[in-house]
Amino acid sequence: MLSFTAVKRAIQLPAISTKTASMLATSMPYPIRSGISCAATHAVFSSSSKSNHTFARVQKPAPAWSATAVVGKEFKKLSSEDFLGKWLVLFFYPLDFTFVCPTEIISYSKAAEEFRKLNTEVVGVSVDSVYSHLAWIEQPRKLGGLGDLDIPLVGDITKNISHNYGVLADSGADIGLSLRGTFIIDPKGTVRQITINDTGVGRNIDETLRLVEALQFVDEHGEVCPAGWKKGEKTMIPNPTKSKDYFKSVAE
């Protein structure tokens, strides 16, 4: 059976794509077609295996990014490197000039100072352009606009950031838009928490604050935080014997 390489060499075909090879294969007699089909199929799987993409994962380095953002009412280049040494809440939302999105963005903006007290910056991202962001910021809140913001909005018009963080919808009514992904990234650039909502449900910003506080507590004290933990409440030592002190205290 002739291989695809042999056939290509024999008839002096130029370099062609796998798709073209498959089309060529179906137009040839069976003995040759089967050889090319096998080669083309192998090429598809080889290409796929080489291009396996790893999205953002907890305990792994956050995907690097660089893009233009609206900061205040100015355009400014931002990158993931700008936030090394600080905690970062990177949140994605579907689209400008929509309905749930402004409630989240404004809530994050109002809480920006609380986050900064925790050495944490907040950055919003959508697949809109920075021009769309700016127009939305300049629209009054009573008309569905954002008004002045205390957080940057990144224009991910290439959709690369959304793709790399695994929040880009690839099917259905929201195809091409970002889902409501929230990523808490520590000062070393490691992803520590991921939450992704469907587009119809807004986030709880107080919960994001709580998670940042909990992660920082764990890093600082080496103890772990039980369900629903809030700052000042009891934690536990991750040890079979010492953890009993916690369970004993909450059972009383």
Q: Which residues contact 119 (CB under 8 A, 6 or more apart)?
A: 86, 87, 187
Is 77 in contact with 68 (CB distance < 8 Å)?
yes
- What are the structure tokens assigned to 73, written together? 């009412």
Is 105 in contact with 153 (CB distance < 8 Å)?
yes
Is 88 in contact with 185 (CB distance < 8 Å)?
yes
Residues noted as catalytic: 101
160 burial via Cβ count (<10 Å: 0-12, 13-18, 19+): middle
Count of CA atoms in the C-beta half-sphere (13 A) of 110: 11
Q: Which residue has the tokens 């700016």?
A: 134
